Structure 1
């Protein structure tokens, strides 16, 4: 019988075909080859070998070396073929992770938009008319869509945080130097960090623990007392998209309600330092990295990226020393204003532009996105970006920034921001059913009993324990189905998804009141021979009417269902 890792590989390639997002990938590995690797891993774990990341699928940003795959940095003509993994990749593989492939990015990691690539613009996981954020665009979207469990990115100016915010996932930007950048095409070598994407904070932190080797540097001491969090006042945020100021204020309130001491500080030094990254002399380091290659004028160079790097080669040397001095002053001001605060809370970005917005103003839109992220590495700080609700149906994210080597402390603070998430169940996870204890063990709490929109059909599956399969058939083909909505801790949904056995999968279920929440569907292949029990109106009613052993009898109300998985 296929093991857990093989099942995970099969599910990932099913998602890849369903989503049809070729722009995510630069090189996607062959499914048959990966399945064989997965089978070998399952054999090793069955024999008792400790591989803590076995069953975990990893996507790797295309400027990080993966042995046997070309490293392109988003530019096909730049490609080289590494024979060894970058240390970050090797460490996760050593813990049992399987590499799915390399992902698309803003070329040479120059951008925060995710559209500057000859491999195509990477679209947001939740709204294909909007950008994914960059430069680690493909990595973030692969995780957000449930294709990969973890992804590696890089973060020089916010590339490991902005795409996390836009796609509703977690982005860790570790303390600079904590994770080796060897085997990575540099953007600004003195500032670059390897970053981690995951759907939940515990998953991201577990990955980071494997990426760090050797004794960890002790964090700076903190004064006793409650958590102390600095926040920006309205004047310090600048112009935000509609609804974003209110979403930020709600995040501040959650920290305050959790017992944190919240203080407003002047964030001007952070903003001013951020401008120096691209408009000052520090951009010259990008020319040092790939300027000679760009000067050759390859046809597959992104024109915006090529322009930025070419201009960087004209920065006079004296400007670098002037900017260094100015940066030292701004850093001192910034740290003085933070005082003994454990972290600074900011929106991850000031807004979420559309693809059309970026096309109309590539430089202006990109510069705006780095308002809150650009200064972090210049000031040698650590950061974590986490989801903090939604604005008009799209993810809204915030980040916590703190002194170097306070990565663990930032994670503890980030947990205070987590909002419970909701999940809809229609079968064996219902109250009193065999799998309901799995929800309770994750800290789930019942919220309400309701019905789905009339766009689904319900089938009895031949599984142990018996469970139904919900399938979407569209308007006119379905009926309302009884459902329960449960509230889970934010990280609970990720754990539930990771442990979900086939043929079940997670999608969004439309409810009778017009809202939608994550919920359980089944894979189309599982419907072969399954009986339609839609007419009973729900799983419990079907069990009550015909008994558990007979719940598979055909009670179709007619019509031909076209099962799909959301």
Structure 2
């Protein structure tokens, strides 16, 4: 997350200018519902106190969260209203020095996990536009993944703050219910809704979360704040879907390493090709963690209750009267889901509540003394075409691992865990209520594959490529380019190698491949790299930053500028 730290107003204004330039560069209009004028955000950035904790950062918010001066649409133009003030969580972030860029697209009324159910357009995946971005917080996740903003707010009832994170290779933090206020958020299911944060790294997400959760939270009318005395009363008297904090607190923690419950892959149901292997690899990537077996059956069975049971009636309570009036901009799939809940009998809710209580007790017993449960964030990643062909079935499948989290009153954290077929793969850590800090600590013990951008003799088919494959590296992005801020030089070395140098002006995009290799493999590679080459941070065309081969300044003596060729292969082909 970018900060000013002594750079002053100029750095904050420059960050705003970069964001608007990035918006034009990526040309993804479907990401946004409303953008603030650039001159307005520049003026706000120039006036930010650099001592504030989030000074110099940019954020965006999902279009069902109030922002003064922008319409709140919840993904439905005819529903729009002009909020009188910022939602409480937005106000906290702005008071901490972060500059708001605009509101982002979503599955209408936050109903969906695909990101396609919107009259503003289907939000395409940040890395492969033929695939869905995930929803319902689709625009917020893609705005972060494309490097436009430093972090963004979403909401999560059934997984909307986690599935888009997994599909776009970023972090999605879903806190315990009640830690972040929902005042000024259009409800989906008010007793379950949580405001979430997306960021490109866990420290960035945690930093924003600390500001969002800093002040005491006033509970929504439907439910008291998590952990309060009133919450137990709601769990026992009203039968809240989440229940009391005491029901999920678990046994006192036994001293020792972090303990993570990991189910066998054959207990998870059908996964996309390669995903079972990626999940097992992620489980093996923990450092100094005790892995425990677990039967995930109650978590999976409870997931079915969220939409196939009576709890979906709360969505009708939220916006059903509006949807019942009809309208040309209503998404037919969303409208069908909401209206189907109107006919649910009251006795069905009581029966489902009893079923859920039993599943919750079984799930927590299965979790035992584990600090976290590891699951794939989703069972697969569908294309836009697959969702269009089967909108209900494709969406329902995506909630297999996420739907039960809020029903059980749990905290959750979705983190990247490598790639499968060149697209991001993500895992999710679930913890009991108020285990948010524990989940972050457990996530930090993951030693996942690292990405490396190569530009010359380590490219596929080049003489030093074996140095990658011998260290367990795999190619994840066959061809992309750097940002337009680099120059490439042919160095007088044996074998011939290029040197990549970042420049303040006169740069150009340079062809690179992106490989993935274990952390120890990267460390071993670094130990054998001869000067003037080194490993440094390289910005890619999509705005992301990865480790890559760069050249130190002294290595340019006697080197030939070959930037005009656009890459090492083109230079070699030119003779």
Measured in 1, the distance between the counterparts of 2:307 and 2:347 equals 16
Q: Given the alignment, which residue of 398, 416, 429 partners 1:387?
A: 416
- Counterparts of residues 391-410 of structure 1 (less than 5 Å): 391-410=420-439
CA offsets per residue over residues 72-130 of structure 1, 9 Å max, x none? 00000000001211111011111001110000000000000000000000000010000
CA offsets per residue over residues 294-339 of structure 1, 9 Å max, x none? 0010110000000000001111110000000000000000000111
Q: Indicate conservation of the 8 Å contact 2:488/2:510, yes or no.
A: no
Deviation at 1:291, TM superposition (A): 0.1
Q: Given the alignment, which residue of 509, 513, 520 partners 1:472?
A: 509
Residue number in structure 1 paired with 2:557 = 544
Deviation at 1:560, TM superposition (A): 11
Is 1:346 matched up with 2:353?
Answer: no
CA offsets per residue over residues 230-261 of structure 1, 9 Å max, x none? 11112321000000000000011112xx1211
Residue number in structure 1 paired with 2:315 = 286
Aligned residues: 479
Measured in 2, the distance between the counterparts of 1:517 and 1:197 equals 16
Residue number in structure 2 paired with 1:13 = 20
Residue number in structure 2 paired with 1:225 = 256
Q: Indicate conservation of the 8 Å contact 2:488/2:563, yes or no.
A: no
Residue number in structure 2 paired with 1:27 = 34
Residue number in structure 2 paired with 1:250 = 281
Q: Indicate conservation of the 8 Å contact 1:425/1:519, yes or no.
A: no
Measured in 2, the distance between the counterparts of 1:320 and 1:8 equals 50
Q: Indicate conservation of the 8 Å contact 1:459/1:468, yes or no.
A: no
Deviation at 1:382, TM superposition (A): 0.2
Residue number in structure 1 paired with 2:442 = 413
Deviation at 1:542, TM superposition (A): 6.6
Residue number in structure 2 paired with 1:529 = none
Is 1:335 matched up with 2:364?
Answer: yes
Residue number in structure 1 paired with 2:494 = none
Residue number in structure 2 paired with 1:435 = none
Is 1:36 matched up with 2:43?
Answer: yes
Q: Indicate conservation of the 8 Å contact 2:192/2:407, yes or no.
A: yes
- Counterparts of residues 103-182 of structure 1 (less than 5 Å): 103-182=104-183
Measured in 2, the distance between the counterparts of 1:558 and 1:421 equals 30
Residue number in structure 1 paired with 2:345 = 316
SS at match of 2:508: strand
Select between 142-151 and 31-40 the one with higher mean Cα deviation: 31-40
Q: Indicate conservation of the 8 Å contact 1:24/1:104, yes or no.
A: yes
Pick closer, same or farther for the CA change 1:2–1:88 going to 2, 3 Å.
Answer: closer
Residue number in structure 2 paired with 1:58 = 59
- Counterparts of residues 403-442 of structure 1 (less than 5 Å): 403-419=432-448, 421-424=450-453
Select between 205-214 and 335-344 the one with higher mean Cα deviation: 205-214
Q: Given the alignment, which residue of 263, 267, 270 partners 1:239?
A: 270
Q: Indicate conservation of the 8 Å contact 1:468/1:539, yes or no.
A: no
Pick closer, same or farther for the CA change 1:131–1:101 going to 2, 3 Å.
Answer: same
Measured in 2, the distance between the counterparts of 1:407 and 1:125 equals 27
Measured in 2, the distance between the counterparts of 1:484 and 1:227 equals 30
Measured in 2, the distance between the counterparts of 1:465 and 1:120 equals 36
Residue number in structure 1 paired with 2:400 = 371
TM-score when scaled to structure 2? 0.77
Measured in 1, the distance between the counterparts of 2:73 and 2:129 equals 25
Pick closer, same or farther for the CA change 1:160–1:545 going to 2, 3 Å.
Answer: same
Select between 6-15 and 112-121 the one with higher mean Cα deviation: 6-15
- Counterparts of residues 191-210 of structure 1 (less than 5 Å): 191-210=192-211
TM-score when scaled to structure 1? 0.78
Q: Given the alignment, which residue of 546, 549, 565 partners 1:518?
A: 546
SS at match of 1:82: coil
Q: Indicate conservation of the 8 Å contact 1:508/1:518, yes or no.
A: no
Pick closer, same or farther for the CA change 1:455–1:342 going to 2, 3 Å.
Answer: closer
CA offsets per residue over residues 165-215 of structure 1, 9 Å max, x none? 000000000001110111000000000000000000011111111111347
CA offsets per residue over residues 14-61 of structure 1, 9 Å max, x none? 1101100000000011111111111111xx32xxxx311011101100
Q: Indicate conservation of the 8 Å contact 2:538/2:546, yes or no.
A: no
Measured in 1, the distance between the counterparts of 2:335 and 2:266 equals 35
- Counterparts of residues 489-508 of structure 1 (less than 5 Å): 506-507=539-540
Q: Indicate conservation of the 8 Å contact 2:9/2:45, yes or no.
A: no
Deviation at 1:68, TM superposition (A): 0.8
Q: Indicate conservation of the 8 Å contact 1:155/1:195, yes or no.
A: yes
Pick closer, same or farther for the CA change 1:54–1:330 going to 2, 3 Å.
Answer: same
Measured in 2, the distance between the counterparts of 1:233 and 1:484 equals 28
Measured in 1, the distance between the counterparts of 2:303 and 2:479 equals 47
Measured in 2, the distance between the counterparts of 1:363 and 1:167 equals 22
CA offsets per residue over residues 544-566 of structure 1, 9 Å max, x none? 238xxxx9xxx6798899xxxxx
SS at match of 2:540: strand
SS at match of 2:143: helix
Deviation at 1:7, TM superposition (A): 1.0
Measured in 1, the distance between the counterparts of 2:566 and 2:411 equals 55
Residue number in structure 2 paired with 1:528 = none
Measured in 2, the distance between the counterparts of 1:59 and 1:93 equals 11
Deviation at 1:140, TM superposition (A): 0.2
- Counterparts of residues 526-537 of structure 1 (less than 5 Å): none
Measured in 2, the distance between the counterparts of 1:245 and 1:326 equals 30
